[in-house]
Chains A and B, each alone.
Chain A
């Protein structure tokens, strides 16, 4: 029994979703299947929380405070995606019962990624997650855009997996190990081949977190994929890939930090600046959110570049706040319907204030929070990140970050201006989907009221960061 308790949540998630797959074949009530998947994801999160810290399978699979925190975040992201799916599945032509099953398989892959302490486990988790995501992106078979986004994601994803594997083979060749702890114990600091390996693995992982210059797929995939899937892309896989990136660099190459810090600093600066300027010209809100997520990854990478306790802590806090803000925005995007048709253009929001002042103020506050304006949650996320950068003498990163967030405030505030001051366009349909309203209100509540009682989220950051230092 002993060894199975280490992967108990994963085994539970796998067996129950396989069971649901079979149930769904005969009992085609998609709502029920979706609800059951939702419940089992919540139950998996509970299992993760109550799991003792442990490691096993030749130290290739670890459960520590960090992995537990990230896993719970991922499962929350997946659960809110399922709520988004339940309200929009008919209209978006993704009315297939495999959707929740694929989401739970993707979550399984992400849980393996987060817990992996070995190059092999890392790659297998990554592939399990990506394969489910490729299918999810092209799920709407009648839409050309959806198929395009799936194919694009698949081809570029396969390319990045190739880069990653190439790097993995270099690391294995020059250290003789695949285990992160053994790699850190045995490597030769001056080895050039090892550095090449790190660069290639970093490129592969930078693709998965969509950091510039490996971001090309993001806008097209975000725009083309069905909206709940776009929401999922922005929520869970980003968090998982960041966690994997961090564990890979910290556990195996902690002592050569100076080498890979340069890579992370470059990725971070490029992402922040590129996203700030490229998003200005966008008119589609899903595309805008894609650029916004590239920018946020830039800020998250600042925390990773710090390589100390404060850095990891601020990174976790930022990830939590990023997740909450994205849930809020994407649940609102799914409510933007006019005559039962989904609207995706930013101009469709014009004059929302006249018709729905309450929703208008919540979405405006979410936008303020994304821009990082006090006293909303987004401000504190950026605040902690910049503080830890300054404490580590990474002044360049902090300065570029602040400049980029001022520039990016332009396009967030443009949405607020459109909502409040533009000529009102036609009224939206009633916002009557209870599941969307639920997650919209909870997430906007957290965004707005974070400053009143921030200690739970700060404590989570503290708890998770202990793992590495």
Chain B
């Protein structure tokens, strides 16, 4: 048993178990943590397939952003879903149906390829000129040249998304007292303190 085969079995076993835990654990926070574990093992599977770029993206985007966002939402909303047996039975038929569809698709693919998976090599190296590069280098070398227009336009889309979310959520309230550092620093001794010499029984005009 080679090292890659061994690690494949380890990663896929942990993926199956942890994704099972995602949907069965009673505490939503635990679910999210198991989801993160699933993502990490998925990244491991990608590395076995020599797709290290996807592995990095999976960790950076899904674990770094999406899962943390989930965790935030779960903790902020503080909801408790009771997992009783009826609930599971209710979703069982549709889940079973989707599972059957996936399995039959897999079987059809395997029958069509006659269990000859040598074509997979084409999927790993679709373009001959990138044969000797890692796929991060391959993506980088076309992303910033041939696909520069799409790359930049995607940046514009993200900018619009940012503007949009600020426009829709930022509210300036009237009558809120805020600390203005500028005006605090601008205060001078002369403008704030006046020396008076009060006479007795007359008081001071302010």
Contacts and interface: CB of A to CB of B under 8 A. Distances in A.
Contact of A98 (B148, B153, B157, B163): B163
A112 interface: yes
Interface string B6-19: 00000000000000
B139 to A, nearest CB: 15
Given A98-B167, A102-B167, A135-B167, A7 B149 contact: yes
Interface in B153-181: 153-154, 156-157, 159-161, 163-164, 167-168, 171
Contacts of B171: 141
Interface in A1-48: 7, 14, 18, 21
Could you tell me the dominant secondary structure of chain A's interface residues? helix
B157 A120 contact: no
A121 B150 CA distance: 7
B149 A60 contact: yes
B116 interface: no
A96 B156 contact: no
A132 B153 CA distance: 14
A191 interface: no
A14 B156 contact: yes
Contacts of B156: 14, 105, 108, 128
Contacts of A139: 167-168
A105 B160 contact: yes
Contacts of A434: none
Interface in A94-117: 96, 98, 101-102, 105, 108, 112
Contacts of B148: 57
Nearest to A57: B149
A131 B161 contact: yes
A248 interface: no
Nearest to A134: B164
A135 B167 CA distance: 8
Contacts of B167: 96, 98, 102, 135, 139
B146 A131 contact: no
B164 A131 contact: yes
A132 B164 contact: yes
B142 to A, nearest CB: 10
B150 A120 contact: yes
Interface residues of A, number: 28
A290 to B, nearest CB: 23
A58 B156 CA distance: 21
Given A98-B163, A124-B154, A141 B149 contact: no
B127 to A, nearest CB: 12
Categorize the interface residue count of chain B: 10 to 19
A60 B163 CA distance: 28
A108 B153 CA distance: 10
Contact of B160 (A61, A120, A128): A128
A141 B168 contact: yes
B149 A121 contact: yes
Contacts of B159: 18, 105
Interface in B125-157: 146-150, 153-154, 156-157
B157 A128 contact: yes
A138 interface: yes
Contacts of A102: 160, 163-164, 167
Nearest to A58: B146
A64 interface: no
Contacts of A61: 149
A135 B166 CA distance: 10
Nearest to B169: A141
A125 interface: yes
A127 interface: yes
A101 B164 CA distance: 11
Nearest to A132: B160
Interface in B66-92: none
Contacts of B147: 120
Nearest to B151: A124
Contact of A101 (B150, B161, B163, B168): B163
A60 B146 CA distance: 10
Contacts of A60: 149
B160 A138 contact: no
B120 to A, nearest CB: 17
A124 B153 CA distance: 7
Given A14-B156, A124-B154, A135 B164 contact: yes
Contacts of B163: 21, 98, 101-102, 105, 135
16 contacts: A7-B149, A57-B148, A61-B149, A98-B167, A102-B163, A121-B149, A121-B153, A124-B157, A125-B153, A128-B156, A128-B160, A131-B157, A131-B160, A131-B164, A135-B167, A139-B167
Interface of B: 146-150, 153-154, 156-157, 159-161, 163-164, 167-168, 171
9 smallest beta-carbon distances between A and B, as pairs: A135-B164, A57-B149, A124-B153, A98-B167, A131-B160, A128-B157, A105-B160, A120-B150, A132-B160
Interface of A: 7, 14, 18, 21, 57-58, 60-61, 96, 98, 101-102, 105, 108, 112, 120-121, 124-125, 127-128, 131-132, 134-135, 138-139, 141
Given A120-B150, A135-B168, 14 more contacts: A18-B159, A60-B149, A96-B167, A98-B167, A102-B160, A102-B163, A124-B154, A131-B160, A131-B164, A132-B164, A134-B164, A135-B167, A139-B168, A141-B171
